[in-house]
Amino acid sequence: MSDKPTPDIATLSFEQALAALEKIVDDLERGDVPLEQSIAIYERGEALRAHCDKLLAAAEHRIEKIKLSRDGKPVGVEPLDEG
């Protein structure tokens, strides 16, 4: 891992958080990280995963589907059905 300061997770976009999480997974899978550092980056990975889950849930709540008239023309939007 680099010695650069790590950004606050809450400020990361979904894409940034996912990239950071992928790097952590790669580092842990390589197995050449000392135990204490492995624990610290695993904990950060869990926080990144939770942040990604939160951002995805928020995006899902904002997604709407287009309502079409009988002749197939858009007439408005409604919430996306969950399920």
User: Are the CB atoms for 49 and 11 separated by under 8 Å?
Assistant: no
pTM: 0.69
Q: How many beta carbons lie within 10 A of that of residue 41, not counting itself? A: 20
Q: Please give the radius of gyration of the chain, using alpha carbons only, rounded to the nearest integer.
A: 19
Q: Answer positive or negative: Cα dihedral of 22, 19, 52, 35.
A: positive
* Closest alpha carbon to 52 in 3, 11, 17: 17
* pLDDT tens track for 5-57: 678 999 999 999 999 999 999 999 999 899 999 999 999 999 999 999 999 99
Confidence band of 76 (pLDDT split at 50, 70, 90):
confident
Q: Compute the CA torsion angle 47, 49, 51, 53 (nearest 10 deg).
A: -150
